[in-house]
Amino acid sequence: MSILRSMLFVPGDSEKKLAKGAGIGADALILDLEDAVAAARRPLAREMICEYLSSADRARSELWVRMNPLDSADALRDVAAVVRARPDGIALPKCNGPEDVVQLSHWLDVLEVEHAIPAGSIEICAIATETAVAPFALGRYKGAPRLRILTWGAEDLAAALGASTNKDAAGDYTAPYVLARSLCLFGAYAAGVQGLDTVQPDFRNPAKLREECNEARRDGFLGKIAIHPDQVAVINECFTPSAEEIAHAQVVIDAFKANPDAGTLSLDGKMIDMPHLKQAERLMSIVTRRT
């Protein structure tokens, strides 16, 4: 299973933006049926997304679809309409917990059979902090069927909490949203799935985007969602290990391989131990899963 550094939202009812999406360089596109599409245009958007899924080059980007929330009238209509075109995955917004993932997976079970799609082919990305109850479930996603990605959303959470803003004067997230971000990261690793950082809504501020990407990668996220094509290159760069990082990780791994009974070693005048080996192995696994 490959690591997705970048997932770009693309409105499902915009022919121009759908056509442009393939050349952006995002590891995945999220063809949107929720926030980016007015309710009256969703039937049209479903058809446009199906046409796009049926003709697009899957070698360039994975193709996902963001449905509407499970408790909405559009949810089942969305999934039933797009599954026939075999998206790589479904992004589930306003996810309250693993039970929502299970429900969506049941729908996909039936629809895959109906359309002669191999069982379990369509994966799920849970956007798992957009309601007030959702953060309390972030430690319970282990074993959730089809789940590949756990990500978080700050904008809908702020609306759910009635907050006037989710940022402080310096443009950094305030305490409730830092908590949601942290719990999402913990939850992803506890579940054994990829943790993906949320969007930077100010797409005209590449410096802030780079800062958020570097902080997210430092903390353990493996990628970030983009809301504008101009964000993708920065995200891909920040979440791609450098040649120097790869070389250092290989040196650490080789050092412990040459000394299998050692718990600690000296490398370049510094002590390294098992946590350093685990970090090196993790980085190399990311590189392997990117190729």
pLDDT in tens, 21-48: 889 999 999 999 999 999 999 999 999 9
59 pLDDT tier (thresholds 50, 70, 90): confident
Q: Are residues 227 and 270 in the same domain?
A: no
Report yes or no on 187 lying in a domain: yes
Above 60 in pLDDT, residue 291? no
Report yes or no on 122 lying in a domain: yes
pLDDT in tens, 63-111: 999 999 999 999 999 999 999 999 999 999 999 999 999 999 999 999 9
Residue in 162, 227, 175 with CA at minimum distance from that of residue 197: 227
Q: Are residues 59 and 161 in the same domain?
A: yes
Cβ atoms < 10 Å from Cβ of 190: 15
Q: What is the DSSP letter of 68?
A: -
Q: Are residues 109 and 232 in the same domain?
A: yes
Known catalytic residue at 273: yes
Of 238, 259, 281, which residue constitutes the final position of a domain?
A: 238
Above 80 in pLDDT, residue 287? no
Residue in 119, 123, 101 with CA at minimum distance from that of residue 110: 119
Task: State whether the Cα torsion 208-196-86-33 is positive or negative.
Answer: negative
Q: Domains in the chain: how many in total?
A: 2
- Go through the chain and tell me how many residues it has: 291
Report yes or no on 100 lying in a domain: yes
Report yes or no on 166 lying in a domain: yes
Q: What is the CATH number of the domain that holds 35?
A: 3.20.20.60
Q: For residue 21, what are the domain limits?
A: 6-238
Return the ∠ at Cα 108 (arms to 228 and 192), rounded to 5°. 65
Distance CA 235, CA 12 (A): 22
Report yes or no on 1 lying in a domain: no
Burial 148-166 (b: 16+ CB within 10 A, else e): bbbbbbbebbbebeeeeeb
Q: Are residues 252 and 154 in the same domain?
A: no
Q: Are residues 228 and 255 in the same domain?
A: no
Listed in sequence order, the residues at least 6 apart from 101 whose beta carbon sits closer than 8 Å to its beta carbon are 92, 95, 124, 126, 141, 144, 145, 146, 147
From the list 219, 230, 254, 273, the catalytic residue is 273
61: left (phi over 0), alpha (psi -120 to 50) or beta: beta
Q: What is the DSSP letter of 167?
A: B
